[in-house]
Amino acid sequence: MRNKYIENFEKAQTAAKNIPDFRAGDTVNLAVTIKEGDKSRIQAYEGVCIAKRGQGTGQTITVRKIGANGVGIERIFPLYSDSIAEIKVIRRGRVRRAKLFYLRALAGKKARIKELRRK
């Protein structure tokens, strides 16, 4: 049971941010704001969303991408953070689970996710 005042406050916070509808298995492109000293820039981070957790303003997503030399890199992003400027869904994945932690043990072609076909 959540406090109704907290729910109203979170509703006002989440209404300002435009978040597309996506789930685990989807490939997403995040525009992340990086601050270096007094300068800031936007850097793209593209990977497969392997988990969504939490509720309200405390919601987070875990995004996994394959870096140099085939090394997997995972980052956890707060969904309603000011550091995320934009989220784009690149492709929809067809998966049967909500958490795709098994992808950590797979490499190469076995780690691929089939694309969801819309009818």
Q: Which pLDDT tens digit goes with each residue over 43-90?
A: 999 999 999 999 888 899 999 999 998 899 999 999 998 899 999 999
> Residue 119 — pLDDT band, cuts 50, 70, 90?
low
Within a domain: 116: no
Within a domain: 14: yes
Contact residues for 98 (Cβ-Cβ < 8 A; gap 6+): 23, 24, 51, 52
Within a domain: 117: no
Instruction: Tell me the pLDDT of the chain averaged across its residues.
Output: 91
Q: Is the pLDDT of residue 38 over 80?
A: yes
Q: How many domains does the chain contain in total?
A: 1
R_g of the chain, CA atoms, integer Å: 16
Structure tokens at 44: 């793209």
Q: Of 11-15, 30-34, 40-44, which gets the smallest average pLDDT?
A: 11-15
Best CA proximity match to 90, nearest among 66, 68, 116:
116
The CATH number of whichever domain residue 26 belongs to comes to 2.30.30.790
